[in-house]
Structure 1
Amino acid sequence: MSTSKEDSSTANAIAADSIIIKVNARWISYIHTILGYVAFFSTLIIACLTHYHQIVKNEHWGYPEEWFPSVSAVTGDWYPARSVFQIMIAVTSGPRFALIFLFYMISNKPDHLYPKIHAIVGLIRTISCGGWTYITSTEDHDIHDVSMITYVVLTLPWMLGCLAIAPPNNKQAQSYRRRLVLLFFGTLVPMTYFFVRHKVYAVPGAYTIYAFFEWSLIAYDIAFDAVSLYDFNSLEIRVIDVTRQQSGNNSFFNGTTSTISSDTEKAKTNTATTTTTNNNITLYNLEKFMYSGFWYNLRGFIADTYLAFVYWTMLTSLALTIWYFPLWHMGISGFEVCLLVTISPVLLGIPSVRYLIATNRSIFHLISLSGLAAYFFTDPTARLFVVSFGVAMANLMRTSRWIENRDNTGKLEHDALVWTLGLILSNVVKMAWWTNNPIWPIMHKENGGCNFIGLLLGVIAAFENIIYQNKSFDNDNKSSVKINTEGKPHQQQHRLESWFFTAGGFGSLLFALHSLLSDSSTITRWVIQGYPDTGPLPIPWGAATIVAMSLGLVLSTNRKIVTSFPWYVIGCVSCSCMYYYPAWNGYYGGLILAVYLVSLVPIFIHSVTRYPPGRTFFTAMMIYNILCLAHVWTVAYAFVPAGEYLREHTDYVLFAMMLLIGAGVLDASSADFSYKQLQINQIRSVRSLTKIGLAALIVISFVIVFIRLPSQPPQPYHPDQKLLTAGIWTVHFGLDNDMWASEYRMRDVIKELELDVIGLLESDLERIIMGNRDLTQFLAEDLNMYADYGPGPSKHTWGCSMLSKFPIISSTHHLLPSPVGELACAIHATLDVYGQPVDVIVSHNGQEEDPEDRRLQTTELARIMNESKNPFIFLGYVVTKPLNGNYFILTLDGRMNDIDPLDDDRWCEYIVYRGMKRTGYARISHGGLTDTEIQAGKFQALTDKKYNPDTWKASYRRIEEEEIAPGLRFPAKFKGDGVRGHHYHVFNEPRYYD
């Protein structure tokens, strides 16, 4: 006995003797923090001392307008600062990798995947730091930017992961981390704002303010990792001399050598068996991982989310495909009846139908994807019918699932969270595709569609969903089918108004989500005003809308708040602000409204399932349909029965929407949200996955914003000739004659015609019937042009917008006098044309049926043109014959010259001008993209002599094309048959003038 104790103490002595050094692990955090701050801020000091004026200069301004440098300017371009920074980052990398390893060690648990993923994120993030540190933007712009984007994107999962998996015993560390996360991501908003002010608007001093925010991010980032010292305080790092340890072991086990040898021989004999066993264990662990709770739940969650995205894709495509037909009929077409397919859940009032769907979900899952296959049909009517059937099945399948799960609060909340996450995913996807959904039936391969991929993923998700549901919920679903097919409501005693309040609330909420939150740019366009203070632009501020929706979904789990009366009041006030206030104040209201609306989704879905499904969902979807029609009638009042009662009254629609939502909140506040223990575990899992999904979507949206920000200012096509080529085109809401999205082909013809300025009419697509789209985003970014959207959807016009290669100094949005007919819109902009201010008007006057409206509108346009002291170009839709009636108001009263008075074939579109030298005029066929041609004129700025506004009459001497300089000619490719159906017509060639 004494011998054993003696041997033990000897072993301990030998082990202690082998320790060369030991140090507390918190010193890793200290060293990393000190080296990190020294790397950045010593570089800042050195750069300012050696190259101050160079590092504060950017593409627009230098000192004194800009006086503080950005991080990239300090670290990337100048010796010796750049070299010092690179050396210090290399030195910091050691503690950095050690910090990641130690955090993994303290957070890792058996059978937990999160710590492993978090560690991988940390490693990739650290390596990407080396990418933008050692490869500057001047050396390889793409690799530098990709590395920087990767680093910023992975910062979110790294920080949130630290919050989620750090040891919970240190509350002080977690408190510091939460504050730093809020500071870090809160700083991104103003930083992005000032970056846009610098990059897009070239505001002096904006980049300096941006640089301060950028440097603060560095401080917060390093400070966040410094908090790890609290976690590492209980760890000790030791360096052990292995030879001493082995020597001690040999002397200690001196008497047991034969035993060790025996064991060694036995191990050699069983090598093959051990290898086989290890392989079997590896395969077992892989299988166990694939079917583990986390991985299995993750697969099912992703499949559910994608199917929810598919649901919103089909729902938002229905009105869009219906709209094609009244658009061409210029009134009610009869196809509007297809909107009623949304009431398909009325069939759930039949017990046998509920039983049929519940017991054959696999079949109905696949059938509900039929709407995605509509793109196979080229005929618009066939496409509409396929979409209608798909929406009917999707609505029936989705609501049937809710009814099945109405006795299981946990699963019902799973359905609600995933359904809303699918809506947010739809917003992110549309942001990536410039407000088009790539799997809509108006898309195909030629215009940017990914329909086949979308359909294939839908089929995969449907099968995965079937497997997941059968594995996870099979027993519960059997009981649900039995209960729900009895035809009894969830609660036996209901007042009549209760189910109606709930139905009205849900239908109104669905309308609100569809009309305002099915695209991240919609709210920004509701509140837009003219330059220079346009208010928030879709890029970058659409990402803020996605953040607001995500916050609403996180808040939705707090039943007490979302059903409270003060929260409802906040929702109503924010809705009023969005409608009545322009620019930023209206947008702030819209963001709060987004949070409010999304926060209601789970409790409304729970509430609507408490009542008999047939009448409840029928009423809800009918209210949704009525509100959809009403919000269209506010602008289409001239073409629909009883339209005069809703003329220009979106406020009526919003009031009804919020009133019915209030009724739904009143009833939902009495809902029972008690959970069983199993349901609590399920809901914790789905809430965690939802937060991860939201974080991922937010990060992706910011990446999309970064990619889409303009990289360089627009430039005109022929600056040497001081040429401005202007055009006017009625684009029929971005749908071509065969019901395909037309942005790609519009872009091609605008580029090939070398149009420096173009007015686009019928361009306001931010309504349900147009898919909540914005064609100006794609055209402006792809053509590298400035864009003025014109009056937004809250102004009740069909829209007019302007694209310009020249900077827009200022612009005003006009609603022209329209006492009887449809409301007419106009943009009056002042452009910087080769250093000279030139005014441009883009307008869309009323229809032929309202002559007094058109006279008043033309008179107002003439007044604006007459009062201007600048050279002027008018690009508009006038609806009059040349040399007749309103034509003289436009030209004589406005002191304007017709581009070609001998062109007597015009009726709608006109180009008139003053104070510029007109050199050419052409009419180009629409090529099947719309029903209206393009008219284009070429003008030269009179920069060589002072413009006299009182001398405005022009000569009309025609010359041949050979007499004009090649740079002033229209492209030859549109002669004869032209390209893609676009060719010169009426004259069959351009006209040129002296």
Structure 2
Amino acid sequence: MAPKYKDGDIVATINGKWISWAHTVVAYSAFLGALIVGMSLHYHKIVQNEFYGYPDEWFPSVSSTIGDRYPERSVFMVFIALTSGPRFALVALWYILTRKPNSSLPKFVTGVGIFRTLTCGGWTYVTSTDDHDWHDIFMISYLVATLPWTLGCLALSPRNPTALKYRKIFAGAFFGTLVPLIYFFIQHKVHRVAGAYTTYSFFEWSLVLLDVAFDAVTVVEFANFEVVVKDLRGITRGTGNKAVSDTVLEKQKDKEVGQVFAGGFSWGGLLDAVAGVYNGFAFWSMLTSLGLLVWYFPLWHMGISGYEVMVMCTVSPFLLGIKSLRFLIVRQIRIVHLLSLSGFLSFLAKSPENRLFSAGFGVWMACLSWSATFYAERSQPHRLEARISAFSLGLLASSIAKFAFWTNNPVWPIMHGPNGGWNKLGLALAVLAILRSTRQTASSGADMPAPGPTKGSPTLAGLGLAGLFFAMHSLLSDSSTMILWVWEGYPVRGPLAVPHGAWTLIAMGFGLVIGLFAPNFARGWAFYGVGSIGAAILTTSGHWFGYYGALALTIYIMAIAPAFISNAARHSPAHTFGLGFLIYNILVLAHVWVVAYAFVPGGPLMREHTDWVMAATMLFIGCGVFSATSQTATPSIKKYKGKPNPAARKQRSYYLYVLFGLELLAAAIAYLRFPSYNYTPYHPEEKSVTAGIWTIHFSLDNDMWSSEHRMRDVIKELELDVVGLLESDLQRIIMGNRDTTQFLAEDLGMYVDYGPGPNKHTWGSALLSKFPIVNSTHHLLPSPVGELAPAIHATLDMYGRMVDVFVFHSGQEEDPEDRRLQSEYLAKLMGETPRPAILLSYLVTKPLEGNYNTYVGDKSGMRDIDPSDWDRWCEYILYKGLKRTGYARVSRSTITDTEIQVGKFVVDQPENLSNEMIAEEQVPAGLRFPALFRSQGVRGHAYHVFDDPRYFA
């Protein structure tokens, strides 16, 4: 007999499983229908991609199948429109099925389901041809929302073994498919492997089938529904039956994972975690900016300036050794945190000196406030853990911000509106975050001891902090740092800053989770051995193998943070945090001396010894392990006063939610920044090549602003197809762990070779090219006394002709023997290539004198682009095997201390041996220099020395 309403019989019923079946059938019809129609009508067109077609590629991707071609696009759109009704009904029934009192998770999952449905319509009906940006926004939003939808459905799945089994299978297969999908996409996009896109397409279609199949499992549970809608068997959470997740949590109530995700959800608790993490982000933003500001002064003084003493701003925790002052700081911790925001305000100072002092004061107060915060919370381990989590996730958030902003942090004092800074917004959010996250501490000013006996040496704990903080700053404050350690040129044989920087960020989060859930393992000697092996592999190896060592070291560094900081907080903060930051400063200086040995007292002792710095870092961390392992563990989650601690488990879950959100953001950024690799030169009709050389002075302009945007503008306006950049290695603490080439390459649409990495101890050389880089080799030229001279030897595919380009920075003037040996080495290298060649260089010699005659002559086979240009000392452009058509010198404005030199060449035409000059009117329009830079020029850039470019017959 049919069930009854209170006021009458049911007139009609539809079993809920038919909603699930309708959704599944119509969704599959949309994709498979478009595939059948497309392969029947446009097979060769839809298997064609930007590099290959049939027979190399023989199966179409999802995007090419459902794209812009009629009628398959229409077939897809019609069925997707029909899918929307069952889809909304499916999401609604799922909410009814899984809702329960005092739980916000079902509402959250339902919201995500509605959001996914709307964004699916977005990328379906707004194609990449209609609006590429909005199509990508909808598509990325849909993909990002897939993860919380899948995990939420698994967590809320009712107690049905069959349904749960299939959900796990489909979800596991879905996420497992992402790995080979990304691999084969990179094989296609980066390595251009024939047939890779077909393999990628199979995995892409698998994702579609698995995504729909995951939701099709609802047919099992919905069979117990009838659409009125009435619950026929009392299976919903509202009637009291428990989901599988509840049962598991009950069985594992003494296990940490179960405790973390048990209980209700509080938006206030999540807001507290977000505020704490942003406060940590503010700390790392200020700390990572300090060295960069200090570096400006010796850079422009070309030696010790005196401002280097500001590096010591981090030692403020020594003040906590004064008892009365410590009590005052702990009681007024909010004020101390707010005072630290002078580092955020420093961008308002126009004078570089005032900006440095303001930022230095901010770092002084930030180190003081965070050390006092850790110490004040030591009596309540779960609150201390929250602060440590916020501190560590703040580093991750800072690295993600740099990942999004091409290795610049948008709130740094070197950033402002004109170059992409978000300083005002960052400051406002920092004030709100501090007000929220510092409402109270566990201690009101008194020295409340940590629970249990305090063991271990405070000195060893401080040394451990030094190694930890230095490793976090030098290796993890930017996702591309260790990738550039293992980069050794083309063809690509290792990770790329984009997208693989996201792997570093994911490893950071994974390491922190290990540190929270397995603290005894994280602080143990076995894991220390893993970290040490990772450090050794990173230091000694390149390519993928070296990066695997980097990932192991990343996980280890983040994992030890909770154990090391909580152990240090048990002792005197002056002894542990004060000593830790002091030794950290010494490591920072050593980190610079390995390359700046020519400018500091005793520098030659540290010359080229990054391995020593890494070994010292791991030894100091080992000291921390000694101290931490002697301390009895006091877990904050499992037990508190002998009982489970519900406040602690809820609190930890909020930080894990924030971590999850940050990792999703990192993945989305990696997707958005993935290069297109469809670059074209400015004047292909003339087969012209415009090449330039520029010494960029570490991307800090004369007024201490980051100069990438200004550099981008002049490079674009000069229409440079190939440009060599010198003094371009910024991957050190003192230079902000940046990479200018990422922004320039992506914005200008150019291939990039970073050159010898930061572990090669040079000031850097880089190559940007509109032409594909077929092969590149990095060289360290003979430098027995002075600084190492870097060089790039790259082979470019210029209009189907292989042309060698050399980018080279010679040693300094004070070391003539170094420069002589370097000239002979490079001349031999250039002379050995049978291909046409261009040298973009910094030679430190006068024209027609000394080493000039080694670079230019029979041994190298190279010719000077303009032998009559007598006013040169540093920058030179040489060439062979190409027709030289023009040469210009462009003033630097206030971007750097060196001009831009530019040469124009034509490929596949005989080399012109005469130095006869001709008037511009005799030169084809495509081979002329831009008129924009004539007379006064633009923004301080103008043709100078000759006043106008020179053209050659």
Query: TM-score by structure 2 length?
Result: 0.92
| 2:483 is aligned with 1:483 | no
Question: Which residue is equivalent to 1:60?
Answer: 51
Given that 1:173 and 1:230 are in contact with CA atoms closer than 8 Å, whether structure 2 keeps it comes out as yes
1:877-956 aligned within 5 A: 877-892=842-857, 893-943=859-909, 954-956=913-915
Question: Which residue is equivalent to 1:827?
Answer: 792
Counterpart of 1:225, as a letter, is D
Question: Which residue is equivalent to 2:397?
Answer: 425
Question: Which residue is equivalent to 1:128?
Answer: 119
Question: Which residue is equivalent to 2:77?
Answer: 86
Of the candidates 488, 491, 496, which is equivalent to residue 529 of structure 1? 488
| 2:526 is aligned with 1:566 | yes
Given that 1:489 and 1:612 are in contact with CA atoms closer than 8 Å, whether structure 2 keeps it comes out as no
| 1:276-303, Cα deviation, whole Å (9 max, x unpaired) | xxxxxxxxxxxxxxxx971221222221
Q: In structure 2, how many angstroms separate the alpha carbons of the residues matched to 1:174 and 1:334? A: 66
TM-superposed deviation, 1:239 = 6.4
Question: Which residue is equivalent to 1:41?
Answer: 32
TM-superposed deviation, 1:17 = 7.5
Q: In structure 2, how many angstroms separate the alpha carbons of the residues matched to 1:801 and 1:752? A: 20
Counterpart of 2:650, as a letter, is S
Larger mean Cα displacement after TM superposition, 82-91 or 894-903: 82-91
Secondary structure of the 1:636 match is helix
1:239-318 aligned within 5 A: 294-318=266-290
TM-superposed deviation, 1:176 = 4.9
Relative to structure 1, is the Cα distance of residues 501 and 170 closer, same or farther in structure 2, using a 3 angstrom cutoff? farther
Larger mean Cα displacement after TM superposition, 850-859 or 403-412: 850-859
| 2:76 is aligned with 1:117 | no
Relative to structure 1, is the Cα distance of residues 125 and 318 closer, same or farther in structure 2, using a 3 angstrom cutoff? same
Q: In structure 1, how many angstroms separate the alpha carbons of the residues matched to 2:655 and 2:452? A: 30
Question: Which residue is equivalent to 1:992?
Answer: 951
Question: Which residue is equivalent to 2:180?
Answer: 190
Q: In structure 2, how many angstroms separate the alpha carbons of the residues matched to 1:455 and 1:156? A: 32
1:24-39 aligned within 5 A: 25-39=16-30
Given that 1:410 and 1:679 are in contact with CA atoms closer than 8 Å, whether structure 2 keeps it comes out as no
Cα RMSD (Å) of the superposition? 2.3
Counterpart of 2:61, as a letter, is S
Question: Which residue is equivalent to 2:261?
Answer: none
Q: In structure 2, how many angstroms separate the alpha carbons of the residues matched to 1:827 and 1:880? A: 20
Query: TM-score by structure 1 length?
Result: 0.88
Of the candidates 325, 341, 344, which is equivalent to residue 372 of structure 1? 344
Given that 1:411 and 1:682 are in contact with CA atoms closer than 8 Å, whether structure 2 keeps it comes out as no
| 2:512 is aligned with 1:540 | no
| 2:673 is aligned with 1:673 | no
Given that 1:790 and 1:802 are in contact with CA atoms closer than 8 Å, whether structure 2 keeps it comes out as yes
Secondary structure of the 1:600 match is helix
Relative to structure 1, is the Cα distance of residues 784 and 956 closer, same or farther in structure 2, using a 3 angstrom cutoff? same
Question: Which residue is equivalent to 1:776?
Answer: 741
Q: In structure 1, how many angstroms separate the alpha carbons of the residues matched to 2:30 and 2:363? A: 57
Q: In structure 1, how many angstroms separate the alpha carbons of the residues matched to 2:809 and 2:164? A: 58
Given that 1:192 and 1:540 are in contact with CA atoms closer than 8 Å, whether structure 2 keeps it comes out as no
Q: In structure 1, how many angstroms separate the alpha carbons of the residues matched to 2:472 and 2:766? A: 26
Given that 2:105 and 2:265 are in contact with CA atoms closer than 8 Å, whether structure 1 keeps it comes out as no
Q: In structure 1, how many angstroms separate the alpha carbons of the residues matched to 2:341 and 2:172? A: 41
Of the candidates 601, 604, 607, which is equivalent to residue 641 of structure 1? 601
Given that 2:454 and 2:570 are in contact with CA atoms closer than 8 Å, whether structure 1 keeps it comes out as no
TM-superposed deviation, 1:206 = 2.4
Secondary structure of the 2:369 match is helix
Secondary structure of the 1:477 match is coil
Relative to structure 1, is the Cα distance of residues 712 and 653 closer, same or farther in structure 2, using a 3 angstrom cutoff? closer
Larger mean Cα displacement after TM superposition, 880-889 or 952-961: 952-961
Q: In structure 1, how many angstroms separate the alpha carbons of the residues matched to 2:763 and 2:285? A: 24
Given that 1:822 and 1:846 are in contact with CA atoms closer than 8 Å, whether structure 2 keeps it comes out as yes
| 1:36-55, Cα deviation, whole Å (9 max, x unpaired) | 33443343334323322111
Question: Which residue is equivalent to 1:203?
Answer: 193
1:729-740 aligned within 5 A: 729-740=694-705
Secondary structure of the 2:598 match is coil
Given that 2:465 and 2:576 are in contact with CA atoms closer than 8 Å, whether structure 1 keeps it comes out as no
Relative to structure 1, is the Cα distance of residues 181 and 505 closer, same or farther in structure 2, using a 3 angstrom cutoff? farther
Q: In structure 2, how many angstroms separate the alpha carbons of the residues matched to 1:533 and 1:144? A: 30
Relative to structure 1, is the Cα distance of residues 965 and 82 closer, same or farther in structure 2, using a 3 angstrom cutoff? closer
Relative to structure 1, is the Cα distance of residues 875 and 131 closer, same or farther in structure 2, using a 3 angstrom cutoff? same
Counterpart of 2:197, as a letter, is Y
Q: In structure 2, how many angstroms separate the alpha carbons of the residues matched to 1:191 and 1:293? A: 35
| 2:178 is aligned with 1:217 | no
More helix by share: 1
Of the candidates 712, 718, 727, which is equivalent to residue 762 of structure 1? 727
TM-superposed deviation, 1:573 = 1.3
Q: In structure 2, how many angstroms separate the alpha carbons of the residues matched to 1:660 and 1:749? A: 46
| 1:688-729, Cα deviation, whole Å (9 max, x unpaired) | 222221222222222222222234611111112221111101
| 2:537 is aligned with 1:577 | yes
Question: Which residue is equivalent to 1:702?
Answer: 667
Question: Which residue is equivalent to 1:588?
Answer: 548
1:93-172 aligned within 5 A: 93-167=84-158, 169-170=159-160
Larger mean Cα displacement after TM superposition, 507-516 or 981-990: 981-990
Secondary structure of the 1:720 match is helix
Q: In structure 2, how many angstroms separate the alpha carbons of the residues matched to 1:755 and 1:461? A: 45
Question: Which residue is equivalent to 1:817?
Answer: 782
TM-superposed deviation, 1:15 = 6.5
| 1:836-876, Cα deviation, whole Å (9 max, x unpaired) | 11111001111111111111111111111111111111011
Q: In structure 1, how many angstroms separate the alpha carbons of the residues matched to 2:525 and 2:554? A: 17
Of the candidates 861, 865, 869, which is equivalent to residue 834 of structure 2? 869
Question: Which residue is equivalent to 1:283?
Answer: none
Relative to structure 1, is the Cα distance of residues 57 and 489 closer, same or farther in structure 2, using a 3 angstrom cutoff? closer
Secondary structure of the 1:635 match is helix
Secondary structure of the 1:203 match is coil
Of the candidates 71, 75, 82, which is equivalent to residue 66 of structure 2? 75
Larger mean Cα displacement after TM superposition, 379-388 or 971-980: 971-980
Of the candidates 422, 427, 435, which is equivalent to residue 463 of structure 1? 435
TM-superposed deviation, 1:819 = 1.4
Q: In structure 2, how many angstroms separate the alpha carbons of the residues matched to 1:530 and 1:554? A: 34
* Bigger Cα Rg: 1
Given that 2:320 and 2:573 are in contact with CA atoms closer than 8 Å, whether structure 1 keeps it comes out as yes
Q: In structure 2, how many angstroms separate the alpha carbons of the residues matched to 1:15 and 1:371? A: 67
Relative to structure 1, is the Cα distance of residues 175 and 847 closer, same or farther in structure 2, using a 3 angstrom cutoff? farther
Q: In structure 2, how many angstroms separate the alpha carbons of the residues matched to 1:79 and 1:562? A: 58
TM-superposed deviation, 1:770 = 0.8
Q: In structure 2, how many angstroms separate the alpha carbons of the residues matched to 1:685 and 1:492? A: 27
Relative to structure 1, is the Cα distance of residues 308 and 880 closer, same or farther in structure 2, using a 3 angstrom cutoff? same
Unaligned runs of 5+ in 1: 1-8, 241-291
Q: In structure 2, how many angstroms separate the alpha carbons of the residues matched to 1:16 and 1:667? A: 73
Question: Which residue is equivalent to 1:655?
Answer: 615
| 1:187-229, Cα deviation, whole Å (9 max, x unpaired) | 3343233323333443322221221221121133223223445
TM-superposed deviation, 1:666 = 3.1
Given that 2:116 and 2:145 are in contact with CA atoms closer than 8 Å, whether structure 1 keeps it comes out as yes
Unaligned runs of 5+ in 2: 231-263
Relative to structure 1, is the Cα distance of residues 27 and 576 closer, same or farther in structure 2, using a 3 angstrom cutoff? farther
TM-superposed deviation, 1:165 = 3.8
Question: Which residue is equivalent to 1:286?
Answer: none
Q: In structure 2, how many angstroms separate the alpha carbons of the residues matched to 1:494 and 1:596? A: 23
Relative to structure 1, is the Cα distance of residues 123 and 594 closer, same or farther in structure 2, using a 3 angstrom cutoff? same
TM-superposed deviation, 1:230 = 5.3
| 1:759-812, Cα deviation, whole Å (9 max, x unpaired) | 000101111111111000100111111111111111111110011111111111
TM-superposed deviation, 1:910 = 0.7
Secondary structure of the 2:686 match is coil
Counterpart of 1:187, as a letter, is T
Given that 1:156 and 1:695 are in contact with CA atoms closer than 8 Å, whether structure 2 keeps it comes out as no
Given that 2:520 and 2:633 are in contact with CA atoms closer than 8 Å, whether structure 1 keeps it comes out as no
